[in-house]
Amino acid sequence: MASAYQESGDAKGTFLGHPKGLFVLFFAEMWERFSYYGMRALLIFYLTKHWLFSDSESGIIYGAYTALVYITPVVGGYLADKYLGQRKAVLFGAVLLTLGHFFMAFEGDAGIGHVDNPVISIFWLALALIIVGSGFLKANISVIVGQLYPRTDVRRDGAYTIFYMGINLGAALGSLLCGYIGETYGWAYGFGLAGIGMLLGLIVFIWGKPLLLGRGEPSDPEKLKQPVAGIKLEWWMYIAGLAMVGICWLAIQFQDLVGYVLGIFGGGLVIYVLYTAVSKLSSEERDRIFAAMFLIVTSIIFWALFEQAGSSLNLFTDRHVDRAGVPASTFQSINAIYIILLAPIFATVWTTLGRKGMEPSAPFKFGLGVVQVGLGFLVLVWGAQAAGLENATPVIFIFLIYLLHTTGELCLSPVGLSAMNRLAPAHMASLIMGTWFFASATGNFAAGLIASATGAEGVGEEAGKQVVLDVYSTVGWVAVVVGIGVLVISPLIKKLMHLDTLQDDNVGDDLEGQSEFGEPAAAGIHPTTKS
């Protein structure tokens, strides 16, 4: 075992029983999530209060932004696996993120409006840099965690738990601190603090390179040095990243482009997966792909509602909730705090039920997740109506909707990641995981459309509040009905999974960092939520 520990990255010593490189990644990722969620907590307010976009326009922009954040890791992960290696990709992503967060601090003259303010171009550039930076960093830093340990090392689950807590700690602190400072002292200060957080993450990652012991390096370093058209191949990778920034700069301004990309490529991806399943797989493998596609489609509904948190729900909290003077953006930290508190409980419950043969199936858990996200909105609607449209909604209902959404998330997101890994044949694993993340992007874009529907410009406060509650009531009931439908047919979907004949033909093909209750903990609890 000692030799395995040496191989796993213990040559530089350990801390709390783990390679020191783990804590380099922990702090780098914590600061990255601090900056990302700190900016995210302020974004919808910045759009509506500074750039003077309407609620509808802001919802669409926000949805397109978060959708793109889920698309770019597909490219960032591919370039890292094929050419750059994870460490160089993470470093490049961190540089882009640092620039993007600092550019967010250039706000121009408040109140002049987005039409006449030339600084808006810097704002679009900032968002594009953050989108592409996240694509390079988030797709790869979790992989390095797994590379610090042999696949059979018993410390792997604990390592990903530590890393996962860093993700959520950064998300909670970023929302609290950047949100409070940005709303209290000015946008530039809140975004600037997010930029400082990202810079700290970059410094930690550069400083800690020796502790990574060569993990995440390119598979063929010499190939990167070879010139292509007079330029080293490695620099072509960075040029490709900057080209992605340019594409995202355009897409975030013309949000319909994002919808077309999701529709065309997502639809083509689904058709290709189904065609492959029908024409090239055995009957059991084909059934498992059908089950995976069912879960993928169901997840779109969940994320479309869950991702109201940063947009319409953030605005509702600001305008219609009795917050006792607490800035609305700080409530974005509630989800991360709930996850830190509840994730260990859910892990224990699933493991205990599994040992007794009583654990619910993945489709059943998905149904529970969709029902809970719908119930969250219905509880908020009930609370707001009980208080009266003319009165502020008691803040307890904001805590309740986030509680139900978090428990729903814990039933669906980690379970879905695990299911994709279990159901896909080894030669289709990346394809199915890519389809899963494309579905997450689609859900985020749909979330923008729902948030846009809550906008009611030119009406009074009570009428505007009623519009929001009507939308929330509709999507809440739809989610509950869909969730119950998923619960009813979950035995059929479970049958398609053929769990009784699943075999570990090659343990080495498993996803990095899968925990004992089936969650690839490296991925956090959403992308997007924390991934």
Can you give the pLDDT at residue 435? Answer: 86
Can you give the pLDDT at residue 15? Answer: 64
Q: Which of 362, 359, 365, 301 is nearest to 497 (CA)?
A: 362
pLDDT for residue 190 is more than 90: yes
70-101: per-residue pLDDT in tens? 888 888 888 887 888 888 888 999 999 999 99
Our CA angle for 415, 418, 421, nearest 5°, is 150
Can you give the pLDDT at residue 9? Answer: 58
Other CB atoms within a 10 A radius of the CB of residue 233 amount to 18
pLDDT for residue 456 is more than 50: yes
Tokens of 105: 């601090």
pLDDT for residue 503 is more than 60: yes
- Taking every pair of Cα atoms in the chain, the longest distance, rounded to a whole number of angstroms, is 70
pLDDT for residue 504 is more than 70: no
Q: How far is CA 344 from the centre of its chain?
A: 19
Distance CA 302, CA 478 (A): 11
Mean pLDDT of the chain: 85
25-34: per-residue pLDDT in tens? 888 889 989 9
Tokens of 110: 């408040």
Question: What value does the mean pLDDT take over residues 213-225?
Answer: 77
Contacts of 208 (CB under 8 A, 6+ apart): 20, 21, 24, 25, 28
Cβ-in-10-Å burial (0-12, 13-18, 19+) of 111 comes to: exposed
Distance CA 167, CA 186 (A): 26
Band (pLDDT 50/70/90 cuts) for residue 151 is: low
Question: What value does the mean pLDDT take over residues 398-409?
Answer: 97
Band (pLDDT 50/70/90 cuts) for residue 222 is: confident
Least confident of 2-6, 66-70, 256-260, 408-412: 2-6
Band (pLDDT 50/70/90 cuts) for residue 117 is: confident
166-184: per-residue pLDDT in tens? 888 999 999 999 999 999 9
Least confident of 134-148, 174-188, 341-355, 459-473: 134-148
Length of the chain: 531
Distance CA 23, CA 15 (A): 8
Distance CA 479, CA 412 (A): 14
Q: Which of 433, 456, 410, 455 is nearest to 306 (CA)?
A: 410
Cβ-in-10-Å burial (0-12, 13-18, 19+) of 94 comes to: buried
Q: Which of 365, 416, 31, 443 is nearest to 208 (CA)?
A: 31
DSSP 487-525: HHHHHHHHHHHTGGG---S-GGGSPTTB-TTS-BGGGTT
Helix (H) or strand (E) holding 346: helix 334-355
Question: What value does the mean pLDDT take over residues 329-339?
Answer: 95
Band (pLDDT 50/70/90 cuts) for residue 142 is: confident
Q: Which of 515, 174, 530, 139 is nearest to 354 (CA)?
A: 515
Can you give the pLDDT at residue 73? Answer: 85
Strands (E), 353-424: 393-394
Distance CA 21, CA 347 (A): 25
Distance CA 303, CA 291 (A): 19
pLDDT for residue 518 is more than 50: no
Question: Which pTM does this prediction carry?
Answer: 0.87
Distance CA 115, CA 41 (A): 24
Helix (H) or strand (E) holding 517: none
Q: Which residue has the higher pLDDT, 188 or 503?
A: 188
pLDDT for residue 523 is more than 60: no
Can you give the pLDDT at residue 11? Answer: 56
Can you give the pLDDT at residue 475? Answer: 97
Angstrom CA distances, 261 to 58, 294, 407, stand at: 20, 21, 31
357-376: per-residue pLDDT in tens? 888 999 999 999 999 999 99
Band (pLDDT 50/70/90 cuts) for residue 529 is: very low
Least confident of 54-68, 225-239, 270-284, 513-527: 513-527
Can you give the pLDDT at residue 408? Answer: 96
Can you give the pLDDT at residue 152? Answer: 64
Tokens of 179: 């949100």
